Homo-oligomer: A and B are copies of this chain.
Amino acid sequence: MGRIPPATVKRLCFYLHLLERLKKEGKEYVSSKELAERLDLTDTQVRRDLVYFGKMGKRGMGYEIEKLIKELRKILKIEKPRRAILIGAGNLGTALLASPFFRKRVEIVAAFDADINKVGRRIHGVPVYSDCEISRVVREMGIKIAILTTPPDVAPDIAGILINAGIQGILNFTPASIKSPPGVFIHDVDLTMELEYLSFFVEEE
């Protein structure tokens, strides 16, 4: 499998979620045309994206939903929910822990917080450790993915600890920018930025 454009990877996630909905609705096959319509893409683009990973469709029929879901989960490396840790059990962190959708798709094995009142407790079933235990837990459990929801001022330091301990992917919800050394992938999600992006397309009052 050659180099996959990031835009395609993003779309794979969309396909996967839509396919899971379609499966729940009891459908067995779906065409690139229908996928495209529901996701505001073109059918050619859907087929191009999918053909990166081999010929997965049946001419005349479309794509077998069950099979394609399996395939996409394999490609995205989420056949089993991936194990991850959460750093920062504040409002957003707690909201993620509380979300059944989120919890269904990722196995959060531990949370960390600087607040000693939270340490030792469980939040929505997830044990909370002290920040100083991050390194040990990451190493002992071989965790590769961290979700960062700390205050922004401590984020770079925490990121340093994470990377040092062997974390390879950070989902960064803080507005702080994290420098990524080679081999570590940082994916920034800035919720205010999403709003500002939207704002551009909406007339002023």
Interface: A105 (CB within 8 A): yes
A204 to B83 Cα, complex, angstroms = 10
Interface: A36 (CB within 8 A): no
A21 to B106 Cα, complex, angstroms = 32
> Do the beta carbons of B9 and A197 come within 8 Å of each other?
yes
> Do the beta carbons of B106 and A95 come within 8 Å of each other?
no
CB distance from A41 to the nearest CB of B (A): 12
Which of B12, B177, B185, B202 lies in contact with A77, CB distance below 8 A?
B202
Interface: A191 (CB within 8 A): yes
Binds B, one of A25-33, A129-137, A168-176: A168-176
> Do the beta carbons of A194 and B171 come within 8 Å of each other?
yes
A106 to B152 Cα, complex, angstroms = 19
Interface: A140 (CB within 8 A): no
Say whether, besides A168-B203, A169-B201, A169-B202, A193 and B96 are in contact (CB < 8 Å).
Answer: no
A96 to B200 Cα, complex, angstroms = 20
27 inter-chain pairs at a CB distance below 8 angstroms, sorted by A residue, are: A13-B190, A13-B193, A13-B197, A14-B193, A16-B196, A17-B190, A18-B177, A76-B196, A76-B197, A76-B199, A77-B204, A83-B205, A84-B195, A91-B94, A102-B192, A102-B195, A144-B204, A144-B205, A145-B198, A145-B199, A145-B202, A168-B203, A169-B201, A169-B202, A171-B194, A171-B198, A187-B194
Chain A interface residues toward B at CB < 8 A: 4, 9-10, 12-14, 16-18, 21, 38-39, 75-78, 82-84, 90-92, 94-96, 98-99, 101-102, 105-106, 142-145, 147, 152, 168-171, 175, 177, 185, 187, 189-205
3 tightest A-B contacts by CB?
Answer: A169-B202, A91-B95, A95-B95
